Amino acid sequence: MVLAAETVDQHVHDHTALGRARELVILMAARVERQLADAIESLQTGSPALIAQILRHEAEVNGLERAIDEISGQIIARRHPAARDLRLVMALLGATTDLERVGDEAKKIALYARSIFAAGRQVLPRVLELRPMAELVDDMLRQATRAMEALDPNAAAVLVRRDLEVNERFRAVLARLAGFMVEDPRSISACLDILFVAKSFERIGDHAKNLGEHVVYATIGKDVRHATVAEIEQELRG
């Protein structure tokens, strides 16, 4: 009876720790969403206060990453979770890594925004080239984090499709900026900053797609990294 009670206590502890890890991932996702939204706004305003806020949030996001890693490590090392719970822990760790990298890219965007505004307002119309791409990756990140919160694997195929669209938009921005630089060589430095911002958006799209793939692994145990949309849909149909 004592052994059975200990087993029950361990099971309860596992689920409590796992629930706490999920809560922290959701909190981290909310912070990163805010960072990205602020970074996009900084491209429009160049606000020094907003850029400073984004940089401050970086430390908070990193702290959440460390906390999630610690809890997950304890679950794995001390509790030997069942297969389904272990998949969820691994998915949460993967999601944490992707969210932290989104935060890194948001920080880069804010720093590039500061550089772009320092170059003068004559380059700001070039920033408008980024707007459709920024809106797309912002929406992708929100969709991906909602999928993580609900453990809904069906978002994965949609996110892969949308990531392909992000890649197309990146190529379009690259072509437009190349044209601007040929027309006016004085704009080369500012256009390169804008290009680096576009690359950060492209990477954020990749990380949002990865979040959807982590949910698939957590829920149905399938690794769909590098899979096509059709292959993911086939896995989801079972």
Tokens for 23? 């809560």
pLDDT at residue 6 tops 50? no
Between 216 and 77, the more confident residue is 216
pLDDT (0 to 100) of residue 5: 36
pLDDT at residue 126 tops 70? no
> pLDDT band for position 44 (50/70/90)?
confident
Cβ-in-10-Å burial (0-12, 13-18, 19+) of 193 comes to: buried
**Beta-sheet strands, E only, within the chain:** none
Q: How far is it, in rounded angstroms, from Cα 162 to Cα 158? A: 6
Between 183 and 98, the more confident residue is 98
Tens digit of each residue's pLDDT (9 = 90 or more) over 106-119? 999 999 998 888 86
